[in-house]
A and B are shown apart, each in its own frame.
Chain A
Amino acid sequence: DAKTTQPTSMDCAEGRAANLPCNHSTISGNEYVYWYRQIHSQGPQYIIHGLKNNETNEMASLIITEDRKSSTLILPHATLRDTAVYYCIVRAPNTGTASKLTFGTGTRLQVTL
């Protein structure tokens, strides 16, 4: 699976948009970009994923550059409950069965008052 690079930590004021960048310059054409987050002492929570088009759901937006070498996760109105470690993962598909996720070190987002 392609390697990802994320900043170690970021701060965001509550109510503001949190923009979390991720570099994945070696991504292959069939690999998806996934975002998960992990709140302390819990299992990771799925946020969003995409292949090449921008995606939006009730939690966040995912912006993928045209060359697919980087992406940005946007939390439009961060709250204190969004404080977590955010993982950007490039996932290679299997044929027929679910493929694994390989976690990097992620970005620790601290949302402050």
Chain B
Amino acid sequence: GAVVSQHPSWVICKSGTSVKIECRSLDFQATTMFWYRQFPKQSLMLMATSNEGSKATYEQGVEKDKFLINHASLTLSTLTVTSAHPEDSSFYICSASGGPYNSPLHFGNGTRLTVT
């Protein structure tokens, strides 16, 4: 149980275009999902907390107008990287929990974005 699915697993896009990444909780409902970013040889950095039916909460330094998050249902959150630039190339990972506040977060397998 507690499977989180991300799609696509990798994507290549041209500079200036937008890319949407989906995160689904397959066997549980998730009121809250989290989006992380990981650059090569670095740790995961939290970008934002996605709350179903309300606006996402962004971490300091993360541009909310560039990284659009939508959490329209209890099983789906999307991250859209708008007007992508090469420096946005990274590994994007989502996570979610289906239980009470101290239940483990389960992670998707990530999306590798390359902007050319």
Contact = CB atoms under 8 A, between A and B. Distances in A.
Interface of A: 32, 34, 36, 38, 41-46, 49, 87, 91, 93-106
B75 interface: no
Q: Does more than half of chain A's interface fall in helix, strand or loop, or is it mixed?
A: loop
Contact of B32 (A49, A98, A103, A106): A98
Nearest to A45: B107
A46 B106 contact: yes
Interface string B47-62: 0010100000000000
Interface residues of B, number: 30
B10 to A, nearest CB: 10
Contacts of B96: 98
Interface of B: 4, 6, 30-32, 34, 36, 43-46, 49, 51, 91, 93, 95-97, 99, 101-110, 112
Residue in B6, B31, B102 with the greatest tally of chain A CB atoms within 10 Å: B102
Nearest to A30: B102
Contacts of B49: 100
Contacts of A32: 102
B95 A101 contact: yes
A45 B102 CA distance: 16
B34 A44 contact: no
Contact of A95 (B32, B34, B46, B101): B101
Given A42-B110, A43-B110, A106-B43, A96 B105 contact: no
Contact of A41 (B104, B107, B110): B110
A93 B102 contact: yes
Contacts of A49: 102, 104
5 contacts: A32-B102, A41-B91, A43-B6, A97-B51, A101-B34
Contacts of A103: 36, 43-45
A98 B91 CA distance: 23
Contact of B101 (A38, A43, A96): A96
A102 B46 contact: yes
Contacts of A34: 104
Nearest to B94: A43
